[in-house]
Amino acid sequence: MVRNTAAARLIGSYNQLYEDAGETNEIIRLIRHACMRAKIEDATVPPSPGVRWNVVLRSWSTKISEDFERNNPQRPNMEAPVATILHSLGDQFSGFDRRIAMLEATVREQTKTNAASVLESDHNGMMTQQIKTLKAQLSEKTAESKQHKERYKQLLAMHHSQLQSPIASPERLSLPPPCTMDALPGSLARKFNDVSSLPPPCTMDALPGSLARKFNDVSSLSSASKASSSTVRAPESVVLDSLGLAKTVTSGTEVAGELFRLWKAKKFFVGGTTKRILFDAALKDFVGVKPGFSEKKRYKDGMMCVAMAITPKQWKALQTPDVNGTGPRTEVFDIQKCTLLKVLELEIQWGVKGVKTKNKKDKSQPGLNSIGMRFCAIKKKMKAMKKSDTEVTNIIDRLIGETGSECQSTLAGFLVAK
């Protein structure tokens, strides 16, 4: 019993001793060597990067140390000198600091895990819906193909039957002689003669003066109408609205497609190194809102999120002309995925419950319209938490930066919601 208690206390102090003395300490070296030889294992310890026995050792040390501190709280002797009492209280505060740091690390890790799982769930839902749609289209096309095959067989059978029929031979066709006036009955011949004796068709010269002028006026109006219709074209916005396409342009503009369109238009080759040309209309090299995108504010908010997510390597790829003939196709889809992750992290960080959208799947859509709506809700949440316009602007500037950030990075390093 005493031996087990001593071993447990030694393992419980392993983490603290490792932080104070490092792995070169003789006691640390002996503990690690013993655990490695014993190949310790514990099914309750979750998987983690590193050697398995070392992960289990650190987990045991944490559990034993926390249990010991919880069951044996340090209480300073009030009769002891003041320096001793302060030293004891300092040790307690250090323990509290370690627990708080461990709790913060656990919260950050859980936040990243939740963000990744939610994004993966949304992506799986999108893929399932797309597969169902493709299966339905495949069934429809298969049915049409069967109908075309049956029709082809019928036509082919009719063709063979016509080729084998004796009527198909031209030499066997016996046509009647052409009909002449002499062969017509008397009544029909008289009617034909009456039709032949009709007056000639009316011409402009035969019309009275007033009717001729009216006819000329109508002809000139018709010609002018044709000329005007061939030269005058309605504005593009009117045509889009009349065809119902303006909404389609707004809701169907995805991040990857829009970035590739701007890259093909060489919008990124003139803006230096700043990512603010994606959304800042005050810059002379601003890329501009996509034609037909009616919600300009949502477009800029969406592109602001894109600027937050782009890493320096991805931004350099967008500023590089085409070399191998494919362009930055891989990079734009990576940026699209990073943008969705960034918006989801911001929603979790600031406690945004959800954005009311017409489509329940809009939260997982990579469209600029959907992303802009979600970021607008995030900014409203910031202001609801007593953040001034200046503070919101400073937070956005720090998020965008000009040095870039990793795609999966957490926001805790540079943004703390209060």
* pLDDT above 70: residue 74: no
Q: Could you give phi then psi for residue 385, rounded to 5 degrees?
A: -95, 30
Return the pLDDT at 183: 54
Mean pLDDT value of segment 217-243? 41
- Per-residue pLDDT of 87-132, as tens digits, reads 777 777 777 777 788 888 889 888 888 888 888 887 888 888 889 8
Cα separations in angstroms, 337 against 209, 309, 342, 415? 78, 9, 9, 21
- The pLDDT confidence band at residue 356, using thresholds 50, 70 and 90, is low
First to last CA, the chain: 49
314: pLDDT strictly greater than 70? yes
Higher pLDDT, 187 or 284: 284
Task: Let me know: does 348 contact 374? Beta carbons within 8 Å.
Answer: no
H helices present in 22-81, as ranges? 26-38, 52-71
| Dist CA 156 CA 46 (whole Å) | 69
Threshold 0.75, pTM exceeds: no
Among 86-90, 132-136, 342-346, the range scoring the smallest mean pLDDT is 86-90
pLDDT band at 145 (very low <50, low <70, confident <90, very high): confident
Q: Is the pLDDT of residue 185 over 70?
A: no
Q: What is the pLDDT of residue 186?
A: 63
Q: Are 333 and 347 in contact (CB under 8 A)?
A: no
In degrees rounded to 5, what are phi and psi of residue 322?
-70, 130
Residue range 3-10: average pLDDT? 79
Alpha helix (H) residue ranges in 252-327: 255-264, 296-309, 312-318
Label residue 189 by pLDDT band (50, 70, 90).
Answer: low
- Region 299-326: mean pLDDT is 84
Distance separating alpha carbons of residues 253 and 107, to the nearest angstrom: 35
Top pLDDT among 76 and 274 is at: 274
Exposure string over 48-75, b if 16+ CB within 10 A, otherwise e: eeeeebebbbbbbbeebbeeebeeeeee
pLDDT grade for 20, boundaries at 50, 70 and 90: confident
**Per-residue pLDDT averaged across 31-56, rounded?**
90
Domain boundaries, the chain: 2-71, 246-400
